Amino acid sequence: TQALLARVQRHAALGAFLAVDEEAALRQARAADERLARGERAPLLGVPIAHKDVLVTRDWPTTAGSRMLAGYRSPFDATVVARLGAGGDGHPGAGAVTLGKLNCDEFAMGSGNDLSAYGPARNPWDPSRVPGGSSGGSAAAVAARLVPAATGTDTGGSIRQPAAFCGVTGIKPTYGRCSRYGLIAYASSLDQAGPIARSARDCALLLSAMAGPDPERDSTSLDHPAEDYARGLDEALPGASAARPLQGLRIGVPVEYFDDRCSADVLAAVRAALAEFERLGATLVEVRLPRTELAIPAYYIIAPAEASSNLSRFDGVRYGHRAAQYADLFEMYCRTRGEGFGPEVQRRILIGTYVLSHGYYDAYYLKAQQIRRLIAQDFLHAFERCDLIAGPVAPTVAWRIGEKADDPVSAYLADIYTLPASLAGLPGMSVPAGFGADGLPVGLQLIGPHLAERRLLHAAHQFQ
């Protein structure tokens, strides 16, 4: 913990951390030492980690990357924070030590971590580039070895895409696999927390602690017991040999993920990864996900719609920022929200309010929900012919900070390969797959059927 706290200081220019509390971290580390000395064991006892700043924490401020929550401190820990750390509510806690909170796009809206009110996080491979987003601080911190692992959240790609851009491993679990209690809501029907780490094995260790039902606090958490995802990672599939450990695994390759929307360098790295999976014994099968392109308009209606509703709680009365001067209640609301929310958040609140409003609801929101259902059906059909789906995470490597600043739609379009699995609630993973243009990392995306996290992590581990 001491060594990493010093390292965090040394690399402050990366902008990965929004808050560090040395005293709190050292207190937790000492408590872990004492537990160890007493002979106690816990899966992550004493391992230093950090949390994306949309997960609320009692011991650190939580800003969600927004001026709206500057100085806010939660009276409780998010369920995943508690489960990774000291536990609570009958959960023993994995014993990890928290160093602090990690930078992210404001309210997790973005793909570059350049939309944080506290300045950008930078990509350790090239600090003039974005680390991806919205969990950019998490991916940058892991890639720069400031922490061995971190939490992130993924609504439409925010774990997978920054993991890809920073050359680390991340998994977005099945929707409902991890409790959303204490995850500041962006789009509630899509939000999921998950780990970002150096390897599939480390992701498995964290996910084992994070996952599991939380019926009292998140009614959408699945009634499916926590699993030990690290168990069996080294074993070959049943009936397969040690030399070809993935024999029998059918990997679906969706044609729609391999067209000219994806840059040539990314395609080359992803194809090389697929060839490696074949060497490991897997079979590649061509599959179709014909509604892939529609995921962008569907997501960018549904997510802002839910955001406009979720963010209505930031009214200057209950949380965070309140305008200093106002004549009446209405002006207090307007000024507070005008000052507290950045331009992208305001844009999405406007879009969301519009698509939910009378007369437009059927034309936009309802249509988007219908498309969402069709996208989920496409995956169900594809999984009749394969066990996992593989493709790129993003169409390019990390872009330069500021490159997409004047063109939000170009950032939305770059989400094309991560949005479909999000809309379908499926687990998805990003695994490092070599390097593309300018020597920057490329990620391979693996998508599984619902609750197939173990299968994803096993395949990724064998590949690594």
Which residues here bind ligand GLN, judged by CB under 6 A?
A: 108-111, 134, 154-158, 186, 303, 415
Choosing from 66, 74, 111, 134, which is the catalytic residue?
Answer: 134
Choosing from 116, 135, 138, 158, which is the catalytic residue?
Answer: 158
Six-digit token pair at 164?
A: 């890809």
The distance of closest approach from Cβ of residue 171 to ligand GLN in the complex, given in angstroms and rounded to an integer, is 14
The distance of closest approach from Cβ of residue 134 to ligand GLN in the complex, given in angstroms and rounded to an integer, is 4
Task: State how far the Cα of 366 lies from the Cα of 357, in Å rounded to an integer.
Answer: 12
Q: Which is nearer to ligand GLN, 200 or 301 (CB)?
A: 301
Six-digit token pair at 190?
A: 């899509």
Residue found under tokens 């409902």: 176
Q: Which is nearer to ligand GLN, 32 or 184 (CB)?
A: 184
Report which of 102, 93, 113, 105 is spatially closest to residue 47, judged by C-alpha positions. 93
Q: Which is nearer to ligand GLN, 156 or 182 (CB)?
A: 156
Q: Which is nearer to ligand GLN, 68 or 108 (CB)?
A: 108
Q: Which is nearer to ligand GLN, 185 or 246 (CB)?
A: 185
The distance of closest approach from Cβ of residue 178 to ligand GLN in the complex, given in angstroms and rounded to an integer, is 14
State which residue has the least CB distance to ligand GLN. 158
Report which of 121, 101, 204, 203 is spatially closest to residue 162, judged by C-alpha positions. 121
The distance of closest approach from Cβ of residue 87 to ligand GLN in the complex, given in angstroms and rounded to an integer, is 27
The distance of closest approach from Cβ of residue 157 to ligand GLN in the complex, given in angstroms and rounded to an integer, is 5
Q: Which is nearer to ligand GLN, 236 or 351 (CB)?
A: 351
Task: State how far the Cα of 142 lies from the Cα of 167, in Å rounded to an integer.
Answer: 9
Is 52 a residue of the active site?
yes
Burial class (CB in 10 A: 0-12, 13-18, 19+), 201: middle
The distance of closest approach from Cβ of residue 117 to ligand GLN in the complex, given in angstroms and rounded to an integer, is 15
The distance of closest approach from Cβ of residue 156 to ligand GLN in the complex, given in angstroms and rounded to an integer, is 3
Q: Which is nearer to ligand GLN, 156 or 436 (CB)?
A: 156
Q: Which is nearer to ligand GLN, 190 or 246 (CB)?
A: 190
Output Rg (C-alpha) for the chain, integer angstroms.
21
Which CA distances in Å does 341 have to 6, 136, 331, 344, 355?
Answer: 33, 19, 15, 8, 20
Distance spanning both ends of the chain, measured CA to CA:
27
Choosing from 52, 101, 172, 404, which is the catalytic residue?
Answer: 52
Is 404 a residue of the active site?
no
How does strand 97-102 pair with strand 48-52?
parallel
Is 158 a residue of the active site?
yes
Active site residues: 52, 134, 158
